[in-house]
Every structure is written in structure tokens, then in C-alpha cells.
Amino acid sequence: MNQIIYLLRHGETVFNTQGRYQGELDSPLTIEGIEQVKNISKLLKVVINDPDEWEIISSPLGRAMKSTEIICETIGFDLNKVTTDTRLREVSFGSWSGLTTKEIEASWPELIKNTDRNNWYFNSPNGENYDSVVERVSDWLESIKNKEKVIAVSHGLTGRVLRGVYNNLMKDQALKLEISQTTFFKLTNQNIERFCYEYDEF
């Protein structure tokens, strides 16, 4: 079996525009965020052919579910057939959820100092650590190994770690991977292909 996974991120949210770390908190999609998902969905529709051949699995967080709703409407997929999986949820920021970088630096300067800009958020009190995220996305990948065609709707950091696990990358490599709301990724045969609606005609 030649499995194909399309990995999408939710559209821009109000917290995204404010520079706030959402984690497992939620904020609504912006008008721009809704347009991003619509555009990504139009491109997705072109590459998947028949939507009924696919399975859609979404993070249960509100911003991902709203994005999934838009995706289903655009590609012609029955929303009632979507399943949710908590293993696709965003990384938990614990005490830092809902805060900006400046607010975090002001209250926890010692936890920020001398850390790598790509992984400092894993120092959050009560937050989720990198190994825990690796474990849950690895578990998710294992659980879908017999599914031929999967569309997954997830989040920035979780999607980054998931691609890193899929490609057997080291932590520092995985955490430098692109995060974008105009891009989605095709995972197949341990290869990852990037699709961006800003550069594609459809």
C-alpha cells in the first residue's frame, strides 16, 4: 500500500495576530484565516481528485474544527464523516498559554535566558515537553498505517514535530521546519512535498 497523508494547519486566528501562544486554548479564525483555509482547500481539491476516497482526521480544538468545516465544504466532503483525534492537538504551553513572548519574558526571565529560539516554549511550567509530543504523533502515525488516504488537520508546532518524526529528523532539525498558514504538506514514502497556494495556479 502506498499511503498518502495530506497535513494541513488551521487558518490564522485572533491570537495569532496578537502574537499570543494558544496551545490548547482557542481563539476564532480571522477573516484572513478563513480565506487562507478556503484557498488551501481549493488547491487540496485539485490534488486529491475524489474526496470520498479520503478520510479526514482533525484535532478537536475549535480553530482546527472550524478549518475542517471549511475544508469539507470546499472539497465536497461530508462533515459528519470527519473523525477527531486528540493526538493532533496543539502543544500545550501550560502557564504560558494565552501570553505573548514579552509577557513570558517579563514573568519567567530565567526560563527564557540561554535557550534556543526554536525550542524555548518547551520550558513552560506545566506545559508539554518535546518527547511527549513526539510520542503522541508517533502513536498517531502508527494508528493510521493501514489507511491509504488521510487528510489531517492539525497545528503549527504539532505539525512541525509530526513531519520531523515522519522524516526521522533530530529535534533541532524538526523545530526549524516551516510553519505557515498558506501551505500544506504531502507525506508519502518517507518523503514530504510542499504545496503553497500563493505560488500555484488553480
Per-residue pLDDT of the chain (202 residues; tens, 9 = 90+): 899 999 999 999 999 999 999 999 989 999 999 999 999 999 999 999 999 999 999 999 999 999 999 999 999 999 999 999 999 999 999 999 999 989 998 988 887 776 776 777 788 889 999 999 999 999 999 999 999 999 999 999 999 999 999 999 999 999 999 999 999 999 999 999 999 987 544 4
**In this predicted structure, what is the pLDDT of residue 200?**
47
Helix (H, G, I), strand (E, B) or coil at 30: coil
Which of 10, 24, 128, 155 is an active site residue? 10
DSSP structure class, residue 182: S
Q: Which of 159, 147, 20, 163 is CA-nearest to residue 87?
A: 159
pLDDT at 199: 53
Which of 12, 24, 90, 128 is catalytic? The answer is: 90
pLDDT for 43 equals 95
Q: For this structure, is 10 an active site residue?
A: yes
Distance CA 148, CA 138 (A): 17
What pLDDT is stored for residue 115 in this prediction? 73
Distances (CA, A) of 79 to 4, 57, 150, 178, 185: 20, 11, 15, 28, 21
**Model's pTM, two decimal places?**
0.94
* Side-chain half-sphere CA neighbours of 31 within 13 A: 0
Residue (of 118, 60, 129, 58) closest to 93 by Cα position:
129
The reported pLDDT for the residue numbered 114 is 66
The overall longest dimension of the chain from CA atoms, in Å, is 52
DSSP type of residue 80:
G
- Cα separation, 12 vs 7, in Å, equals 16
